[in-house]
Chains A and B, each alone.
Chain A
């Protein structure tokens, strides 16, 4: 599978990031790793999409960040979900489910 096709569609990145952060606060690299692990490497978020997305989400107030240190003692910015972010994730999940169910139905039609 060529790497390019595994790149996540623009727009769904926000939802994936929110979902990843709903599990635990983490830094940017951690988010890409977690998405990769959970989807078994099918979905990969590259830094060029991730960091602008984090910037936008912070603007929206859906995530917040504070500086901490990694286990190797390096400065890292840890993001966590806010209450508003949790509500947003709920809405996005619901609408994604509706959409994918609809597409599934369409595709199953013979």
Chain B
């Protein structure tokens, strides 16, 4: 009963305020009138009666106040009044308001956007149950220094059978078969063992998982679809379960659909098929089986690593021919997925944190300036009896209004940025779909706001203690705040220092990116088109006993495709290669004939890149020595090979490699030429040593068609597809694109970092400019009188400007000195992400210092001009 009554009465007091106040007035007036009347009845004259009543009762207004106090709605009414007052005063100072709101919006917006990316990519846990127990089992090769290689099939069987640290281990092999329906399209398939479901801890949304029997050699093919592929290709129709798909020449029954969020083994995976690996005669020399394990509960990654290390050593002893120098490297699935981007995202996060720091500093600085201007107001109000609590609340409300406006605008900016970011984010950024504006981030922004609001409220009140009130009133708010001024200068110094750190980091990264752009790829990517294809084993048999001459179907497909494409108008040349010029491809062990001892001692494998004779011309790799092979070097003639400059230098030193013989895949091949280095190991990696056998002497079931077109041949891709359909209608091209786009993609991580850090540095410098300008011009206003006196005493324009500018540059100098230390440290942290630039690069650091000096100059020049405009008479009369 009580609460309802009170709520009803409070609501009435708040929302029927006029009526309630009128009633109060009526009630008290009646009381006072009746009091006076009763005195009049005793013979007191009316005027005198009124005076006595007023004196006795203390006047109507104080009584009203005490009733309002008792009413219990006062705090709410005061808050409402404070909000009205805040809006009014903020609207009266538009420059201040816009500056603070914009500063906060930029700071909060940038932080929120970048944090959302970090949250989506790095922090959000994988969507599998106990995902921290899922481990990628890589094989390593001490000879080549490889630490992340797929295992061999035989090794997989051994690890799966013997590694007790794991509850279960799954093997998988990725392939790109053609899905044959009315049309032929390439799909990304993963042949997975049935344990994959248990390793990830997932169950299909529709249908069921593979059974152990379906994973046996010889069992009929079964498949499950990933959620993404099922929706894109089959419109999310559950009736797909039970239907049959044709991949190349084999049939697979769809038994299930995976839940969304399953992106193993790769983001691109369209479907899983039961692996049906054959244990008998499994190879140890071919490394194509990926391994994923689930740790038993309570087993640490280190313990598992120790156990598998021991297993790897046993395999080394048992199978010295294939497993010498082979080890195992365990990596948590999460690390394996995002490990390579973690460092660059951490860099961005650090950068944006610095932007937020500057933004907050700037906001606090602006608030300081405003409070300085209000010193007088606060002092007077305190002297008149306003309570500190009331004043603090009023200022806090003002701070709250500003910071909420800043936060709202900032979240809007963040939402916009997140709209744009994914399109400029590098192609290798995993889980891009997971990037959404996150709630924790919103909370974070709110906390920042409340902190600023609180600071805003407490500062002016804390400042005025006791005697200071009188002081402040006497000085009329023009001076009397020296401590205040010192604090503001320190904030500016800090801002400059942080801005320098960001500017230095940005110029290092920009210079590094410049170097990436200037990299000589070793080939010409202009007007170069590529498309990949895979030939199904059923119609293109691979008989290793008669290699390469026995692989007729594959050889004739290669020849027909190349001839057909070359005949198209708009095509300048065409080639077929095992891998495109940006793909590291695969490596092979090898022996230089006559130097078998070196191979026995263990040597790194050579990148093996079978290509057709026209490859070098098509891609634009120069011949340095000897000859290129021609179309006449085919399966019927003696085996030849071309090596790159890196291989010639590494394995033949000063000697002439031409005429030497390299043996691999059981055959010796004569080196006939040396070609230039292509950077297929990555844009910022020197070309690894490589050998190029003629693809007609080393046919490949998965290969790339490379076509150099004339400048205006936009319809070539469509006609190439036509040719492919003509050669074999069931082989579909995939990954068709211009190589230049691939080069752009390869640069996108660096471009992403460079453009974001560059943007952050620009924001930081602009904010620092606003800060310097604010402090210096405030100072000029404070010293107006002093300047006026100086001018009156004969100071020149030049000396006034020098004094003001000197102050700005002096602050900047201290900031630069402090920031330089931070800039060097930041450079060192960045060094692993830099290419061709040292962490202490003088040009980059010089540019950063120059930009900071420039903003200090601009920030000081403005107020300096104003200072010279001070008329001595006006300044002296100012008080």
Residue numbers of A with Cβ under 8 A of B are 3, 27-29, 32-33, 46-48, 51-53, 55-56, 58-61, 67, 70, 74-77
Q: A3-B56, A59-B9, A60-B2 are known contacts. Are A47 and B70 too (CB-CB below 8 A)?
A: no
- Rounded to whole angstroms, the CA-CA distance of A75 and B27 in the bound complex is 8
Is B62's CB within 8 Å of the partner chain A? Answer: yes
- Rounded to whole angstroms, the CA-CA distance of A80 and B63 in the bound complex is 22
Of the candidates A32, A33, A51, the one having the most CB atoms from chain B within 10 angstroms of its own CB is A51
Q: A52-B70, A55-B67, A75-B26 are known contacts. Are A47 and B5 too (CB-CB below 8 A)?
A: no
Cβ < 8 Å to A, chain B residues 52-80: 56-58, 62-63, 66-67, 69-72
Give chain B nearest CB distance to A1 CB in angstroms: 15
Of the candidates A32, A47, A58, A74, the one having the most CB atoms from chain B within 10 angstroms of its own CB is A47
Q: Are A46 and B58 neighbours in the complex by a CB distance under 8 Å?
A: yes
Q: Are B30 and A29 neighbours in the complex by a CB distance under 8 Å?
A: yes
Is B1's CB within 8 Å of the partner chain A? Answer: yes
4 pairs of A and B residues whose beta carbons are closest in the complex: A52-B70, A55-B70, A29-B34, A29-B31
Considering only CB atoms, which chain A residue lies closest to B32 in the complex?
A: A47
Of the candidates B23, B27, B66, the one having the most CB atoms from chain A within 10 angstroms of its own CB is B27
- Rounded to whole angstroms, the CA-CA distance of A48 and B54 in the bound complex is 12
Is B825's CB within 8 Å of the partner chain A? Answer: no
- Rounded to whole angstroms, the CA-CA distance of A61 and B69 in the bound complex is 18
Is B303's CB within 8 Å of the partner chain A? Answer: no
Is B821's CB within 8 Å of the partner chain A? Answer: no
Q: A3-B56, A61-B1, A61-B5 are known contacts. Are A28 and B31 too (CB-CB below 8 A)?
A: yes
18 residue pairs A–B, Cβ–Cβ below 8 Å: A27-B31, A28-B31, A29-B30, A29-B31, A29-B34, A46-B57, A47-B28, A48-B66, A51-B27, A51-B63, A52-B66, A52-B69, A55-B70, A56-B70, A59-B5, A61-B2, A70-B30, A76-B27
Give chain B nearest CB distance to A14 CB in angstroms: 12
**How does the 8 Å CB contact mask read for B169-199 relative to A, with 1 for contact and 0 for none?**
0000000000000000000000000000000
Give chain B nearest CB distance to A49 CB in angstroms: 8
When the two chains form the complex, which single residue of B56, B57, B71 contacts A55, counting CB atoms closer than 8 Å? B71
Is B617's CB within 8 Å of the partner chain A? Answer: no
When the two chains form the complex, which single residue of A47, A67, A74 contacts B57, counting CB atoms closer than 8 Å? A47
When the two chains form the complex, which single residue of B5, B30, B56 contacts A46, counting CB atoms closer than 8 Å? B56
Q: Are A58 and B56 neighbours in the complex by a CB distance under 8 Å?
A: no
15 further contact pairs, Cβ within 8 A, besides A61-B2, A76-B27: A3-B56, A28-B31, A46-B57, A47-B28, A47-B31, A48-B58, A48-B66, A51-B63, A52-B66, A59-B9, A61-B5, A74-B30, A74-B33, A75-B26, A77-B27
Q: A29-B34, A46-B58, A74-B30 are known contacts. Are A59 and B67 too (CB-CB below 8 A)?
A: no
Considering only CB atoms, which chain B residue lies closest to A59 in the complex?
A: B6
Is B35's CB within 8 Å of the partner chain A? Answer: yes
- Rounded to whole angstroms, the CA-CA distance of A47 and B31 in the bound complex is 8
- Rounded to whole angstroms, the CA-CA distance of A76 and B24 in the bound complex is 10
Q: Which residues of A contact B30 (CB under 8 A)?
A: 27-29, 70, 74-76
Q: Which residues of A contact B28 (CB under 8 A)?
A: 47, 51
Chain A interface mostly: helix
- Rounded to whole angstroms, the CA-CA distance of A15 and B66 in the bound complex is 19
Give chain B nearest CB distance to A33 CB in angstroms: 8
Of the candidates B26, B31, B35, B71, the one having the most CB atoms from chain A within 10 angstroms of its own CB is B31
Considering only CB atoms, which chain B residue lies closest to A61 in the complex?
A: B5
Q: Which residues of B contact A58 (CB under 8 A)?
A: 9
Q: Which residues of B contact A75 (CB under 8 A)?
A: 26, 30
Q: Which residues of B contact A77 (CB under 8 A)?
A: 23, 26-27
- Rounded to whole angstroms, the CA-CA distance of A56 and B71 in the bound complex is 7
Considering only CB atoms, which chain A residue lies closest to B10 in the complex?
A: A59
Give chain A nearest CB distance to B10 CB in angstroms: 9
Q: Are A47 and B63 neighbours in the complex by a CB distance under 8 Å?
A: yes
Q: Which residues of B contact A67 (CB under 8 A)?
A: 23
- Rounded to whole angstroms, the CA-CA distance of A82 and B565 in the bound complex is 102
Of the candidates B28, B33, B34, B69, the one having the most CB atoms from chain A within 10 angstroms of its own CB is B34
- Rounded to whole angstroms, the CA-CA distance of A51 and B32 in the bound complex is 12
Considering only CB atoms, which chain A residue lies closest to B13 in the complex?
A: A55
- Rounded to whole angstroms, the CA-CA distance of A32 and B38 in the bound complex is 13
Give chain B nearest CB distance to A56 CB in angstroms: 6
Considering only CB atoms, which chain A residue lies closest to B33 in the complex?
A: A74
Considering only CB atoms, which chain B residue lies closest to A44 in the complex?
A: B56
Q: Which residues of B contact A32 (CB under 8 A)?
A: 31
Considering only CB atoms, which chain A residue lies closest to B9 in the complex?
A: A59
Q: Which residues of A contact B23 (CB under 8 A)?
A: 67, 77
Of the candidates B32, B57, B66, the one having the most CB atoms from chain A within 10 angstroms of its own CB is B66
Q: Which residues of B contact A76 (CB under 8 A)?
A: 26-27, 30
Q: Are B35 and A48 neighbours in the complex by a CB distance under 8 Å?
A: no
When the two chains form the complex, which single residue of A48, A53, A60 contacts B62, counting CB atoms closer than 8 Å? A48
Q: Which residues of B contact A55 (CB under 8 A)?
A: 67, 70-71
Q: Are A51 and B66 neighbours in the complex by a CB distance under 8 Å?
A: yes
Give chain A nearest CB distance to B72 CB in angstroms: 7
Q: Which residues of B contact A61 (CB under 8 A)?
A: 1-2, 5
- Rounded to whole angstroms, the CA-CA distance of A27 and B30 in the bound complex is 9
**How does the 8 Å CB contact mask read for B1-33 relative to A, with 1 for contact and 0 for none?**
110011001000000000000011011101111
Give chain B nearest CB distance to A75 CB in angstroms: 5
Of the candidates A3, A52, A77, the one having the most CB atoms from chain B within 10 angstroms of its own CB is A52
Q: Which residues of B contact A47 (CB under 8 A)?
A: 28, 31-32, 57, 63
